[in-house]
Amino acid sequence: MKSLVLILIVLSLAVFSGNSQGQKARHASPKSRQISQSELIASITSNFGSKVRVVVDSQPNYLLGDFNGDGEKDIAVLISPEGAQQDLKNAGIKYIEVEPSSPVNGRELRLETAAFKYCYGVAIMHGKKEGPVLRNPDAKYLFYECFIPFRLIPRSTKIQRRYRSDKEPPPKLKGDAIYLYLERDAASIVYWTGKTYRGYYQ
């Protein structure tokens, strides 16, 4: 009788453990799995236009984070938008200036006058509760800079002032930010202000 009870207990624990593992797998964070190139390409084509090309020969070519600090997962994808101005306009993309020294840093620019040549763009899609960010983004942004690999800066990071002469104080991050290694021997951080994206030299 005791052996039968013991067997039942062991079986119950095994079933509970299996269910627990299954629940963990179903609720795994999107950050825990790799997004395939085909998924990225399909999402960018659907949300930004067929002429926008995902850069596949640079790693990483996407970043997952919560860029606007709303608790939902967002994605930033490395793209080449050359010749895609009309597609981007038709898709309702907000094209933002993020050059830290620009007098219009943080403002939306006109796509009709954009000159996309030689450099990369970053397509940002904000996530929302209803559906995955790759298929159903809440908002779509684009910025364009001459940079080499980018990386994620966690929201908890304290941003330092690089130049003593810089009158603008370092931003206090509202969400994760994007670090750009600029080609002109400098670096910048692209961060969410609460209303738009903006650049800050590092």
- For residue range 80-116, list pLDDT tens digits in order: 999 999 999 999 999 999 999 999 999 999 999 999 9
Question: Residue 6 domain-assigned?
Answer: no
- Structurally, how many domains does the chain consist of? 1
Assigned domain for 5 exists: no
Query: Quick one: average pLDDT of 114-140?
Result: 93
> Which residue from 2, 188, 3, 170 is spatially nearest to 98, judged by alpha carbons?
188
Provide the pLDDT for residue 162.
79
Residue 193 is assigned to a structural domain of this protein: yes
Q: Which domain holds residue 163?
A: 31-201
Position 23 in a domain:
no
Which residues lie across from 121 on neighbouring strands?
79, 144
Q: What is the pLDDT of residue 111?
A: 96
Question: Facing residues of 139 across strands?
Answer: 126
Q: Residue 12: inside a domain, yes or no?
A: no
- The mean per-residue pLDDT over the stretch 137-141 comes to 96
Which residues make beta-bridge pairs with 197? Answer: 192
Residue 7 lies in a domain: no
pLDDT for the residue 164: 63
In a domain, 8, yes or no: no
Residue 10 lies inside a defined structural domain of this protein: no
Task: Name the band, by pLDDT with cuts 50, 70 and 90, for residue 33.
Answer: low
**pTM of structure:** 0.82
